[in-house]
Amino acid sequence: MADEPALAPPHEETGEDAGLARRFCAGEEPALAEAYQRWGALVFTLARRSLNHSQDAEDVTQQVFLAAWRARARYQPERGALAGWLVGIARHVIADAHAARARRAEIERASAAQQEGIRQWGDESEAAVNRVLVLGKFESLTPVQRRLLGMAIYGDMTQVQIAEQTGLPLGTVKSHIRRGLHALRRVMEPLG
């Protein structure tokens, strides 16, 4: 679909188009392939012109035909041609693609602003990075060690409180926490 065909408005539905629409609504998979062959270029061209990006247009085209196939029972031939229905779906999917782009741009702006804020905080930014690294290394611990260390560090609980809350013997809690801290030290040492 790299070459855009001339965009022609959907024509009046012919007997052949009406037959295709009936087969499409009946769930005949070859009808989906035929509809894609017949109107895929139209949908792609609409998306390409609106989004100005070929890959996004290809994604939209795929989404349109998938959505049409899933919603084929809702197509009402008396309200218009199958091509027009597909164009209507395309408009909604294209609008969704524009909205997704806007959300991504907003997230990128917020992330950039957050990164700028981290750089401005100097030592706090280093502490934040260290927290992220420690959290990443936390995944190397056993689930029990993660839970107990999390309770101790983030929950600010004593080992006695952890033993009472979990029902584990105090010695077991101490052993898990000690082994977890040693394991964290081993995985953190290569980082300096």
Angle of CA points 144, 148, 153, to nearest 5°: 145
For residue 136, the model assigns a pLDDT of 72
Sign of the torsion angle spanned by Cα atoms 158, 162, 163, 165: positive
Res. 92 pLDDT band, cuts 50 70 90: very high
pLDDT, averaged across the chain: 83
What would the mean pLDDT of 122-130 be, rounded to a whole number?
64
**Residue 108 burial class via C-beta count within 10 angstroms: exposed 0-12, middle 13-18, buried 19 and up:** exposed
Q: What is the mean pLDDT of residues 126-152?
A: 77
Domain encompassing residue 160: 122-191
Inside any domain, residue 8? no
Model confidence at 9: pLDDT above 70: no
Residue 182's pLDDT band, with cuts at 50, 70 and 90, is confident
Distance from C-alpha of 62 to C-alpha of 70, rounded to nearest angstrom: 12
Q: Which of 114, 149, 182 represents a domain boundary (last residue)?
A: 114
Please list, in sequence order, all residues whose beta carbon lies within 8 angstroms of the beta carbon of residue 134, skipping any fewer than 6 positions away.
Answer: 184, 188
Q: What is the pTM of this model?
A: 0.53
Domain contains 4:
no
Between CA 97 and CA 93 the distance in angstroms is 6
Residue 103's pLDDT band, with cuts at 50, 70 and 90, is confident
Same domain, 27 and 91: yes
For the chain, how many structural domains are there in total? 2
Same domain, 95 and 137: no
Does 36 share its domain with 95?
A: yes
Do 136 and 60 fall within a single domain?
no
In a domain, 129, yes or no: yes
Residue after which a domain boundary falls, among 58, 92, 114: 114
Identify whether the C-beta of residue 179 lies closer than 8 Å to the C-beta of residue 145.
yes
